[in-house]
């Protein structure tokens, strides 16, 4: 039986990958693509299509629009925000700049019966983010929802299974968003039989077929993503896989030894490279965040190239890139938030036949689930997320050996006290970062002028949006006291209570 798939056509909105996540939460496989031809869409043979949001205006000459022919494929189509406007324009409706823009939470009222809004509250809160809107619906469409400032907040042609919503059901701020996606999956007639076990099985089979007898080098950081990628590849190619762990000197306290110990239990070709001085020399004097990321990304690749020459010809480089990395590094016409060292931070020339990223379309929680399917131990599957550039993006300004030690010691204290407080499983990610701010303090009746450490802890399910965690004050108080007393060079501890957006989880 062929695998059913819903196709998401991406038009550049920052959180369009959440749409894929919502579909997968309904146990339906989903792929995200940009600017596909109608021939490619037919080849993919989707059971449904979702048109995403985006930053453009559909009435401008350079706007990106879906192929007109998708509306003749006979499959259900859901347009969201820009996607709704694209549907309206192509099918004969009118889209113009709105006199009043809508941003944030807005009350939406359902106006008529609709399969898309089955069991949805007649009035509920939804997330709006638009400066244009649909002023007139295409022929045979009826208006199914409205807001105070947007008379056509949703419309449909139920006979053709075309549906459009101006709001964003994919974000958590839309109260009935999950019901809407579930209803669309039902409209598409999906079997809901896609599971992570299927992904693992299909991916291993696909990698075997693709790589054959080729040699593979895996960039192993010891984090969840690269660990799952490594085990996936080991299942596919066995001893043709060599895992290289680069200690770039920007790891957490004692982390290099811990990683080496964990992977000594796996049947892998494991090589550890001590490259701390090399990376530090490359980063000396660099303060701009994107330059840091790109330097670290390029140096990673150069180390891997050198190792590949030592161990013999290597055809493929494997990385644990996951979907949030791809999106934040820029997809299609999406904005670049920050280049991830394993995506936008890669150099122009890479001396490998191909880079393989088996987790590229998975979210963090899906990666953890894949790890369980592969038999990874729970302590590794639930390992704290750690960025590839490491402490390099948790140190604001120039990176020095002294600053690295300050962050390592402060972060170790924070993690230790969180564990003592028994709240580590309640937090999605938590760490200490070194600000570039120095301030006056008093210690032992003397004046100090030292750095401020910032603590960060967030709650999130997908790492694309996140809320600041409310850590008990008694724990924060202990952490702050320990850091200023035990870590030389710090006289102030701050707590970051900013959500994502507008901030990102990491500092740089």
List, by residue number, the catalytic residues: 81, 168, 170
Paired residues of 452 in beta bridges: 492
* Exposure letters 155-176 (e unless 16+ CB within 10 A, then b): bbbbebbbbbbbbbbbbebbbb
The C-alpha atoms of residue 104 and residue 435 are separated, in whole angstroms, by: 31
Q: Do residues 352 and 314 touch, judged by C-beta distance below 8 A?
A: yes
H/E/C letters for each residue in 216-268?
EEEEECCCHHHHHHHHHHHHHHHHHEEEEEEECCCCCCCHHHHHHHHHCCCCC
C-alpha neighbours within 13 Å on the C-beta side of residue 402: 7
Q: Do residues 479 and 413 touch, judged by C-beta distance below 8 A?
A: yes
Paired residues of 97 in beta bridges: 132
3-state secondary structure of 271: strand
- The CA R_g of the chain, rounded to the nearest whole Å, is 25
Which residue is it, tokens 């969201």?
Answer: 80
Which residue is it, tokens 């030894």?
Answer: 257
Cis check: omega of the bond before 502, within 30 degrees of 0: yes
């Amino acid at each position: 039986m062929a695998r059913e798939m819903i196709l998401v056509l991406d038009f550049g909105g920052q959180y369009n990958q959440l749409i894929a996540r919502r579909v997968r939460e309904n146990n339906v496989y989903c792929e995200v693509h940009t600017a596909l031809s109608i021939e490619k869409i037919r080849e993919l043979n989707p059971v449904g299509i979702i048109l995403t949001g985006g930053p453009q205006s559909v009435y401008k000459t350079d706007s990106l629009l879906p192929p007109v022919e998708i509306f003749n494929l006979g499959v259900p189509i859901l347009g969201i925000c820009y996607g709704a406007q694209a549907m309206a324009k192509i099918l004969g409706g009118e889209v113009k700049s709105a006199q009043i823009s809508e941003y944030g939470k807005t009350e939406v009222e359902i106006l008529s019966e609709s399969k898309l809004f089955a069991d949805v509250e007649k009035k509920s809160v939804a997330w709006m983010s638009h400066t244009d809107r649909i002023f007139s619906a295409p022929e045979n469409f009826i208006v199914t929802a409205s807001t105070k400032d947007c008379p056509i907040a949703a419309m449909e042609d139920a006979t053709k299974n075309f549906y459009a919503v101006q709001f964003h059901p994919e974000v958590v701020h839309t109260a009935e968003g999950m019901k809407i996606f579930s209803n669309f999956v039902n409209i598409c007639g999906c079997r809901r039989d896609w599971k992570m076990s299927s992904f693992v099985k299909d991916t291993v089979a696909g990698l075997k077929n693709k790589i054959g007898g080729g040699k593979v080098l895996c960039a192993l950081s010891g984090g969840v993503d690269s660990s799952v990628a490594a085990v996936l590849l080991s299942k596919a190619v066995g001893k043709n896989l060599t895992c290289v762990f680069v200690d770039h000197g920007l790891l957490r306290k004692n982390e290099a030894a811990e990683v080496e110990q964990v992977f000594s239990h796996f049947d892998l070709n494991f090589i550890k490279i001590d490259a701390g001085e090399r990376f530090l020399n490359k980063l000396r004097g660099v303060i701009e965040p994107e330059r840091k990321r790109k330097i670290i990304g390029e140096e990673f690749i150069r180390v891997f190239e050198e190792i590949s020459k030592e161990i013999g010809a290597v055809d493929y480089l494997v990385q644990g890139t996951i979907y949030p990395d791809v999106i934040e590094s820029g997809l299609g016409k999406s904005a670049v938030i920050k280049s991830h060292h394993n995506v936008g931070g890669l150099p122009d020339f890479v001396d490998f036949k191909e880079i393989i990223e088996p987790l590229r379309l998975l979210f963090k929680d899906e990666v953890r689930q894949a790890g369980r399917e592969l038999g990874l131990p729970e302590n590794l599957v639930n390992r704290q997320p750690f960025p590839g550039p490491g402490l390099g993006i948790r140190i604001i300004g120039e990176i020095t050996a002294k600053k690295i030690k300050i962050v390592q010691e402060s972060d170790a204290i924070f993690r230790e006290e969180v564990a003592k407080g028994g709240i580590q499983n309640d937090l999605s990610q938590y760490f200490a970062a070194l600000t570039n701010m120095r301030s006056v303090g008093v210690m032992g009746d003397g004046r100090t002028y030292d750095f401020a450490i910032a603590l960060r802890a967030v709650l999130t399910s997908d790492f694309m949006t996140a809320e600041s965690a409310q850590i008990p004050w008694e724990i924060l108080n202990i952490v702050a006291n320990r850091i200023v007393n035990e870590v030389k060079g710090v006289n102030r501890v701050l707590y970051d209570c900013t959500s994502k957006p507008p901030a990102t989880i990491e500092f740089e």
